[in-house]
Structure 1
Amino acid sequence: MLSLPSYHAMAAMAVTVAMFVAFARGRLSVEIVSLMTIAVIAVGLYFFPLEGTRPTDGFELAFGGFGHYALITICSLMIMGRGLVVTGALDPAARLLEEVFRFNLQIGLLVSLLIALFLSMAVNDTPVLVLLLPIFVSLAAKGAMPASKTLIPLNAAVLIGGMATTIGTSTNILVTSIAMDLGMREMGVFHFTPIVLIAALVAVPYLWLVMPRLLGDNSVEVDATRRMFHTRLRVGVDSVLSGTDMETVREKLPDGISFHNPPTGTLQPQQRLHISGTHEALEDATRVLKGELAPSWVLDRIRRTSRAEGKDIIAVEMTVTADSRLITRTLPSSGIADLYSVAVLGIHRPQRLGVGEKDKYSEGGDLRMREGDVLLVMGLEDDLQNFARNDSLLLLEGAREMPRRSKAVLSGVIMGAAIATASIGIPWIGAGGFTMLKLPIAISALMGAIAMFVTGCVKFDRVGRALSAKVIVLVAASIAIGRIILESGAAAWLGETLSLGLAFLPPALVLAAIMVFVTLLTNFASNATAATVGTPIAFSIATQLGLPPEPLILAVLFGCNLCYATPIAYQTNMLIMAEGSYEFSDYIRTGVPLVALMVTTLSILLVIFYGLG
């Protein structure tokens, strides 16, 4: 006879449901709902403490998420991802994928999903997503598919791949370890891989063709990305332009760059070519053609000062006002570089000012500045502020840090080391002889974040740009909910209720019910809670019903990985939340159909593979 749950268990389930409803309705922000959930748990446990605990013990349960290793891990991974972005370490990989996306957006997304899926089979899923996340954010900024349409499908592909092997996720290891303690035989690394790969054949078309259509375009349209800047590309001695003709140059030209009045004959060092393009296109042109957009002496001065003072180089846009002394002057006659140690990389002229007028160029072919022109200026922040203030320029929003490419290799090595120590391990000689010792992802990620700070790949005073307050409070609230569900006895009562209702169901529905139960625990508590509670229950149900335990244990393992429906279900879900500008409803809308699809497919496959029909 099933007894009623305790008052604490009923309250825990009520708080969980209330939090989910508040998230789904979206009337209150994620931050407010998360903090209210933590407050309700803290106050409730203070006045009605759990049996055998003191009133103040509830504070540790409610607020413990802010110091939990999961939150430290997520913040550390965000910092390392920031390091890869600001140093430009992932630019080569991003350019390679950009070529695929440029050929065809749909093929580019499919290739990316398959790469993510197969990588996470061998490498822990969290480092795989951390490695891919900044690449796709960069691709979105360059005009590929918006990050909001790619990151949730990419995350789902990583999670499906991680489900395919016993080493794919820490949850898989936990489930198989508990099962072995209960007396089940050990599973090999690829023991259930064929089942997951067949299920992936069904899931990937949904991730590829359907899921992006269910997600909105959350990218922000910024006018600056459409501004076309006119500039002079200087041919350097080591430039690929030197000694070539214009026809050869056109073949190497990045998209979005236009030549104006192209010269005839062979190009010579120090020759200046009139080009135009967006800020991103101009950066690509200087990288591919090895040219400069400003005199080399001022660029060298800026870089030397940046290294000496430990300050970042940034690029900003400034509008020429009616009071500016620059009006009617050209860049060579303005003396900007000498006076302020900044470099003007290009000039954008709005169409309303009359592009094409005869007097817009000086005799030397340089553009004369006018009121309303937008200058693209590079330098250190103090110098840029001084320039804007003294020459009556209006600073526009959207300042952009220039990549610290001198540290690109270093940041890549740090990230690689963090991933390797968590997924492959480090050589270690212990009591049992030589072995590869794997560090917990929490330790390897924290060490990587510290290394990013120490080496200057990430500046400590800029760390706020890498972190998301929404993600931090959401993680803390989800940890508190997971603990109260477990410690109040709510999870145990739900498991007992499940076991009583499965006696009269066919094997396929038994497997599906176990998987759905564990999936609910995973999406509303945590996968560790789901594994800890679900594995013994599944083993017990197998004994009571006379079924082999292995398919039921695998139903638990698969259910623990079906964490697509809420952002609080798994740490990778939270990692993409800020970058994709996602709402709670985005996860529900795309994740629930995927969960239903995977539960149905995996249940049928388990029945077929284990002959339970």
Structure 2
Amino acid sequence: MGFPTVHALASILIAAGMFYGFASGRARVEIISLITIGVIALGLYFFPMPGTAPSDGLVLAFSGFGHHALITICALMILGRGLVVTGALDPAARALNWVWQTNQQLGLLITLIIALCMSMIINDTPVLVLLLPILVQLAHKGGMPASKTLIPVNAAILIGGMATTIGTSTNLLVVSIATDLGMRPIGVFHFTEIVLVAALIALPYIWLVVPRLLPDNSREAGPELRRYCATFRLGTETSAYGKSQAMLAAMLPADIRFDTPIEELVKPGMRLNLSGSQDSLEEAARRLNATPAPGWLMARLRQEAQARNIDLARTEMTIAPDSRLIGLTLQNAGLEDVAILGVRPARGFLNQTRDPSAEAPLREGDILLVLATTENAQAFAQRDGLLILEGGTELPRSNKAPLALAIMVGSVGMASLGLMPIAISALGGAVLMFVTGCVKFERVGRALSAQVIVLVAASIALGKLVLVTGAAEWLGELLALILQFLPAAGVLGAIMLFVTVLTNFASNATAAAVGTPIAFSLAQSLGLPPEPLVLAVLFGCNLCYATPIAYQTNMMIMAEGDYAFKDYVRTGLPLVALMIVTLSTLLVFRYNL
């Protein structure tokens, strides 16, 4: 075995430098990613590899921006955005939210088990796409912060994905290469029990320890913590009729308060004066089939917005000193193009009192929660003397929720059944989201993360560089020289560790393509059965917890969890070590090595 070539050594140094830049946290991830791309492009342009032109290096360096993996990630982000803006996942989120409110630890455990089981049959990425919006919504509604749940759930998905040959495309690649090399075919669930036993050992760490190692990156709560007074009009099919205040309180979110006590059972025509946060009032309206503004006005606003193909938004406004609304009530203010969902009374002096009700006369400093189109909200503020406090929170386009859900199920289903690659089905689903209006084209920027896009492009370029320069092959030969002196468990653990390093710093496909032939030839030279060594490669390809560039699901949660590179290292390295030891031991017992 000789020394690595200059280009191979340079690629190893670039990979090490990229890792150090991410781990140190001295520069933003996207800056380090762009620098990595630039170093590869300039290096190969001025010092091209033998037999290549300078322009070939530029193609390699920038190939990540047109790679199908990046297109797939962007398309899946758009699909996830469609589920969020239409509220398609609200029923599932409410079911999980009920469990989380009962017990957050139990909620996280159930979520981890669901994620692990789903990823055994469905590809890892679609599973995360389905769960990610639900977990983010749960965090916004008072559950455990997203930064403390996304990495654990992602880890459970990755463990489940390694349990079957169809769990990930990388598993299929390893099995296919091994079969071509002469190993007997492996069935779909051939090694499932090994992974499930390892999962039982790893689950306590993922469930109880990892959330404690992660920071609380939830944004400072602002408008959602404000309490608003609202007057609810009950619908004809409400479940509130015939109930007492105590019975109603048991039906409503915990922070809802009755501003006006109910002395008798609820009957038709009665209004309920409640107060709570924005989300709590919205949930109370859903459970009671009630509206915080006149029903005819709410219906008209929705019809007009739908006819003009624009969105309604909730906007916070404060009443200025010169507003015409001062002294008026919501009933006699003559509001027709906006609906007032709630009022947050301004604090007065000690000798000033005011009824805690949305029907009380308005005063300077009161904050109104306004439902309207952006155009009408701005006109209302300018006409009636109000100051807009927030840019507005768009309401879910619930009429398109079934359509968005059908598009997602179709995209995921076709990929899971093998009818078409995930890149094609996801891209087709994203196009349908635009065509049907579930996601508006001008709002697509909210679904995509520039940080993730540049990071994916840089990792793809680096993975190709490690492969074409021969760095991966040289590392494999070095590993083969060392492993011949180790016992069976050590051989399995070392192979798994080597492939894990490749996976976390290059790509799953690179690790599979390089590691599988090495494992097969090593088995022949050491007189070991090839199957356990090939499985060690397969498992190692899935132990991608330690860096955000290791797998596309790691990158998809980075923006939502507001994670730093060190968060993956802190939580991932112990899990990698635990899984390598556990899986190596189980393989030794399974194959009597």
1:604: which partner in 2?
Answer: 585
The 8 Å contact of residues 486 and 492 in structure 1, kept in 2 or not, is answered as yes
The 8 Å contact of residues 317 and 390 in structure 2, kept in 1 or not, is answered as no
1:588 to partner: Cα distance: 0.6
- Distance across 2 between alignment mates of 1:369 and 1:42: 64
SS at match of 1:533: helix
Match status 1:96 vs 2:92:
no
2:10: which partner in 1?
Answer: 11
- Distance across 2 between alignment mates of 1:80 and 1:354: 51
2:79: which partner in 1?
Answer: 80
- Distance across 1 between alignment mates of 2:58 and 2:106: 50
1:266 to partner: Cα distance: 4.1
1:210: which partner in 2?
Answer: 209
The 8 Å contact of residues 259 and 356 in structure 2, kept in 1 or not, is answered as no
The 8 Å contact of residues 551 and 606 in structure 1, kept in 2 or not, is answered as yes
Cα deviation digits, residues 529-572 of structure 1 (max 9, x gap): 00000000110111111111111000000000000001111011
Aligned match for 1:374, one of 367, 370, 379: 367
Residues 591-600 or 251-260, more deviating = 251-260
- Distance across 2 between alignment mates of 1:263 and 1:95: 28
1:246 to partner: Cα distance: 3.5
Tell me which amino acid in the other structure corresponds to 1:111: I
Cα deviation digits, residues 492-548 of structure 1 (max 9, x gap): 000011001111111111111100100000000000000000000110111111111
The 8 Å contact of residues 121 and 163 in structure 1, kept in 2 or not, is answered as yes
Does the C-alpha gap of structure 1 residues 348 and 497 become closer, same or farther in structure 2, counting only changes over 3 Å?
same
Tell me which amino acid in the other structure corresponds to 2:345: R
SS at match of 2:326: coil
Alignment of 1:340-489 (within 5 A): 341-350=337-346, 352-354=347-349, 357-360=352-355, 366-397=359-390, 399-425=392-418, 438-489=419-470
Match status 1:515 vs 2:496:
yes
Match status 1:580 vs 2:561:
yes
1:236 to partner: Cα distance: 1.9
- Distance across 1 between alignment mates of 2:351 and 2:49: 78
- Distance across 2 between alignment mates of 1:540 and 1:139: 49
The 8 Å contact of residues 253 and 285 in structure 1, kept in 2 or not, is answered as yes
SS at match of 1:3: coil
Identity of aligned residues (%): 61
Does the C-alpha gap of structure 1 residues 495 and 404 become closer, same or farther in structure 2, counting only changes over 3 Å?
same
Tell me which amino acid in the other structure corresponds to 2:497: V
The 8 Å contact of residues 349 and 355 in structure 1, kept in 2 or not, is answered as no
Alignment of 1:238-317 (within 5 A): 238-317=237-316
2:474: which partner in 1?
Answer: 493
Aligned match for 2:485, one of 494, 504, 508: 504
Unaligned 5+ segments in structure 1 are 426-437
- Distance across 2 between alignment mates of 1:550 and 1:123: 24
The 8 Å contact of residues 361 and 368 in structure 1, kept in 2 or not, is answered as no
Residues 388-397 or 177-186, more deviating = 388-397
1:221: which partner in 2?
Answer: 220
2:198: which partner in 1?
Answer: 199
- Distance across 2 between alignment mates of 1:559 and 1:209: 24
1:391 to partner: Cα distance: 2.1
Residues 483-492 or 252-261, more deviating = 252-261
Tell me which amino acid in the other structure corresponds to 1:307: Q
Tell me which amino acid in the other structure corresponds to 1:409: P
Tell me which amino acid in the other structure corresponds to 1:207: I
1:156: which partner in 2?
Answer: 155
Does the C-alpha gap of structure 1 residues 555 and 356 become closer, same or farther in structure 2, counting only changes over 3 Å?
farther
Unaligned 5+ segments in structure 2 are none
- Distance across 2 between alignment mates of 1:260 and 1:325: 26
The 8 Å contact of residues 354 and 360 in structure 2, kept in 1 or not, is answered as no
Does the C-alpha gap of structure 1 residues 361 and 178 become closer, same or farther in structure 2, counting only changes over 3 Å?
closer
Cα deviation digits, residues 80-110 of structure 1 (max 9, x gap): 1011111111111111111111111111111
Tell me which amino acid in the other structure corresponds to 1:346: G
Match status 1:555 vs 2:536:
yes
- Distance across 2 between alignment mates of 1:490 and 1:298: 68
Tell me which amino acid in the other structure corresponds to 2:288: L
- Distance across 1 between alignment mates of 2:354 and 2:50: 85
Does the C-alpha gap of structure 1 residues 355 and 403 become closer, same or farther in structure 2, counting only changes over 3 Å?
farther
- Distance across 1 between alignment mates of 2:561 and 2:159: 20
1:273 to partner: Cα distance: 1.4
The 8 Å contact of residues 156 and 564 in structure 1, kept in 2 or not, is answered as yes
- Distance across 2 between alignment mates of 1:385 and 1:37: 45
Relative to the length of structure 1, the TM-score reads: 0.95
Tell me which amino acid in the other structure corresponds to 1:471: V
1:424 to partner: Cα distance: 2.0
SS at match of 1:414: helix
1:393 to partner: Cα distance: 1.7
- Distance across 1 between alignment mates of 2:568 and 2:350: 47
SS at match of 1:56: helix
Cα deviation digits, residues 264-320 of structure 1 (max 9, x gap): 334343432111010001110111100011011221121111111110111111122
SS at match of 1:508: helix
SS at match of 2:332: helix
1:133: which partner in 2?
Answer: 132
RMSD: 1.5
Cα deviation digits, residues 445-491 of structure 1 (max 9, x gap): 11111111111111111110000000000000000100000011100
Residues 63-72 or 263-272, more deviating = 263-272
Cα deviation digits, residues 393-428 of structure 1 (max 9, x gap): 221235211011111111111111111101124xxx
- Distance across 1 between alignment mates of 2:499 and 2:246: 63
1:111 to partner: Cα distance: 0.7
SS at match of 1:132: helix
Tell me which amino acid in the other structure corresponds to 1:417: G
- Distance across 1 between alignment mates of 2:351 and 2:325: 20
- Distance across 2 between alignment mates of 1:257 and 1:446: 43
1:333 to partner: Cα distance: 2.1
1:433: which partner in 2?
Answer: none
Tell me which amino acid in the other structure corresponds to 1:568: I
SS at match of 2:144: coil
The 8 Å contact of residues 121 and 166 in structure 2, kept in 1 or not, is answered as yes
1:243 to partner: Cα distance: 4.9
Relative to the length of structure 2, the TM-score reads: 0.98
Residues 316-325 or 450-459, more deviating = 316-325
1:247 to partner: Cα distance: 4.3
Aligned match for 1:544, one of 525, 537, 540: 525
1:58 to partner: Cα distance: 1.1
2:571: which partner in 1?
Answer: 590
Aligned length: 593
The 8 Å contact of residues 153 and 211 in structure 1, kept in 2 or not, is answered as yes
